Amino acid sequence: MNKKYLLVAMLASSLLTACNNNTNDSQKTTVTVDDNVQNYRGAQLQLVKEPEFVMTKSTSSVNDQIHFYLTRAASLDLNIYNANKEVVSTKTGISLSSEHTINIGSTYDDSALEYGAYTYEATFTLINSEYKETFKGSFTKQLKEIKHFEEKISDISILGNELLIATGDMMDPIKLFSLDINTTNIDTDLNELTADITETLPAPIYDMANTEKFIYIGGRFSEWMGGQLLLEYNKETKTARSLDGLFSCKTATETPSCTSVFSLVNTDKGLYIGTDNGLFLFNKDENNQDQLVKIIDHGLDENTDIKTLYQDSKGHVWAGSMIKEGITFFDGTDWHPLTSETSAIPAGGYLAIAEGENNDYYFANNVSGLVKYNTETETAEIFTPRNSDIIDHNLVSVAYTDSVIVGSHDYGIAKLQDTNKWVITNNTNSMMQTIETSSCQWSPDSPACKDVLVVERIIQNSEGRTFTAVGKSIYEIF
């Protein structure tokens, strides 16, 4: 064959190989082919699927690994780079079959990778050939376990470096812990206090608001199981008092009654309280006496459940309903309801709210997946498993760092990357641990009995550090 035509054919083949790579994939794989080496028919290397970063746990160590899936056997030279573009792990001359796992770090020899973002450069050479291809991509070691508890975590809240953790539910003892996120030490004073007032703690605890002076603890009250709707813990005196007497809807004779405090957010105006019987504001009157006022002008049904409350960077207070209606927010003067009749968002199902950039807000919905709403354009975008590769339609938590992060009711967390690709973190690529559903206690053979990754909440402190509660553990997200 004429050398000129051979060169053209080689270049065309190289371009085709590069174009066939999915640039939207989370690994961002690109391919570089050594054009100085003569290609021959059928010799090209291809990735069967994108390389996968995983973490595995043995009896004595936790290992960082990358899985490669190739069409042909080859030898590998691999470099792993950290965010500063420094080589943190290197492998040379490794013989690979079509499917191979490479250890790139381990706690066994103190070579485990730090948590964060990485890039890799993998050069493959065909066996008995000089033909080479280089694949470049990225991955994130995202989830670091910082504390494990005996019981399932029902809620977390943060103020500065203090992380509050509530564990237990209607069947297990309710406990409250205070954790220093820098030392991971537990505050024994708070632990001892909650041991003394276990009978009065909500069962379970649904939400907590941590302020400079008080901790407010809201949850479920049951005439048969005991507990309170809302407790106020004074950090200075280390005493707790019930605020249930302020709720006229507390008694079962009231119509409608209230049995749960679902959400709390502390503001300059006072403590907003979301219940199964509407929205309330707790503060002091002109005589410095406790007062609880029901808010009825928020534009939603005045008795709707308020499952989530959120205060954004502008000081606006957002409230969301799960059963019906939708979202509403208070700009300091007026409430602005967003329902399926007045906006582009779905009706009901809202469990969490987060502020993004450029007037974007994100709503975690347990039916409709993730709803992205822009307050300036008044437009909405909905992410579901049908129109995207988002982790689940049943979302229970959401936060925003450099991108949006969502928590699933069953499957772990996912972070949006490159506008349309969701990077999933679960028990295969992190130390996240599953728990059994409550159905397993009563009916272990039921289809409802299964192992799940329940994300209770994703939160951030003022420095931008992000934490999540999954099952019985607290993790920091990187």
Predicted confidence at residue 206, as pLDDT, reads: 95
The mean pLDDT value for 201-213 works out to 92
Contact between 322 and 394 under an 8 Å Cβ cutoff? The reply is no
The candidate with the shortest Cα–Cα distance to 133, out of 47, 12, 6, is: 47
- In this prediction, residue 174 has a pLDDT band, given cuts at 50, 70 and 90, of confident
Contact between 124 and 45 under an 8 Å Cβ cutoff? The reply is yes
Pick the CATH number of 3-141 from 2.60.40.10, 1.10.287.90, 3.30.70.260, 3.40.50.410: 2.60.40.10
Predicted confidence at residue 192, as pLDDT, reads: 62
Scored b (16 or more CB within 10 A) or e, 99-109 reads ebebebbbeee
Question: pLDDT of 103-138, one tens digit each?
Answer: 999 999 999 999 999 999 999 998 888 888 899 999
Residue 355's φ and ψ, nearest 5 degrees, are -95, 130
Predicted confidence at residue 307, as pLDDT, reads: 97
Contact between 39 and 13 under an 8 Å Cβ cutoff? The reply is yes
Residue type, 362: Y
Beta strands in 8-161 (DSSP E): 30-33, 52-57, 62-69, 74-81, 87-96, 99-106, 116-126, 132-141, 143-148, 153-159
pLDDT over 50 at 386, yes or no: yes
What length does the chain have?
478
Global pTM?
Answer: 0.82
Record the tokens describing residue 3, joined without a space: 């050398």
Q: Which residues contact 277 (CB under 8 A, 6 or more apart)?
A: 249, 256, 257, 258, 303, 305
The mean pLDDT value for 187-207 works out to 74
Hey, where are the domains in the chain? 3-141, 146-477
Question: pLDDT of 82-104, one tens digit each?
Answer: 999 999 999 999 988 778 899 99
Contact between 230 and 243 under an 8 Å Cβ cutoff? The reply is yes
Question: pLDDT of 274-328, one tens digit each?
Answer: 999 999 999 998 888 999 999 999 999 999 999 999 999 999 999 999 987 899 9
Predicted confidence at residue 182, as pLDDT, reads: 92
Scored b (16 or more CB within 10 A) or e, 385-412 reads eeebebbbbbbbbbbbbeebbbbbbbbb
Q: Which fold has domain 146-477?
A: Methylamine Dehydrogenase; Chain H (2.130.10)
